Amino acid sequence: MTASDPDPRARDAALLAAYAAGDAAAARTLVEAHAPRALALATRMLGRRAEAEEVAQEAMLRLWRAAPDWRAGEARISTWLYRVVSNLCTDRLRKARTVALPEDYDAPDDAPGAQAQMETDERADALQKALAELPERQRLAIVLRHLEERSNGEIAEVMELSVDAVESLQARGRRKLRELLGAIVE
């Protein structure tokens, strides 16, 4: 006889409650389950591993602080965390665009800093560069669907949009990626 899988929200709430009660094992479980996801999304959005680690660490810090007040049934940790990461990434990207550069500033190579740490696979680099060309919301919708493999329902929750709006962003994003990636896609 097998018990049915507990509701993910209830499971997440129980884990956070255990963490808030001082359970170090619960902390380890949460780190292993969620820190890599936060880092993966931040890396895809920002393209720079060091920056992505800062964002992911900050997002996890907010999770620890939210744990004592986490209410069962409110949200899944993954959904909540993706939303925090995407907001932090948006903040960073906006600041990067508004910082004034000196006149004689030689703009650094736009290649993502993560390039040094990612595989030398030409296609992986090309994808990351192409993602960087997409508007942020298209990039987020594409990354969550095709790289993080989240459902469009969850993506809609993360982005606080309707599922239709998410699918529209993804369709436009894919069209743009096909143009940018060209021969690689064939």
Partner 1 sequence: MTNETDRTEDEGLEAVFARARAAAPAPRPAFLETVMGDALAEMPRFVPQHTAAWTLGGMLRALGGWSMGAALGGAAAAGLAMGYYDPAALGPSLGVSDGTVLSASVDEPLLGFLGEEES
Nearest distance in Å: CB 24, partner 1? 7
Residue number, 7 or 184, with CB nearest to partner 1: 184
Q: Where are the beta strands (DSSP E) in 16-151?
A: none
Nearest distance in Å: CB 64, partner 1? 4
Residue number, 23 or 165, with CB nearest to partner 1: 23
Binding residues (CB under 8 A) for partner 1: these are 19-22, 24, 27-28, 30-32, 35-36, 39-40, 53, 56-57, 60-61, 64-65, 68, 117-119, 121, 123-124, 127, 146-147, 149, 174, 177-178, 181, 184-186
Residue number, 40 or 93, with CB nearest to partner 1: 40
Q: Which residues of 68-80 are buried (b: 16+ CB within 10 A; e: fewer)?
A: eebeeeebbbbbb
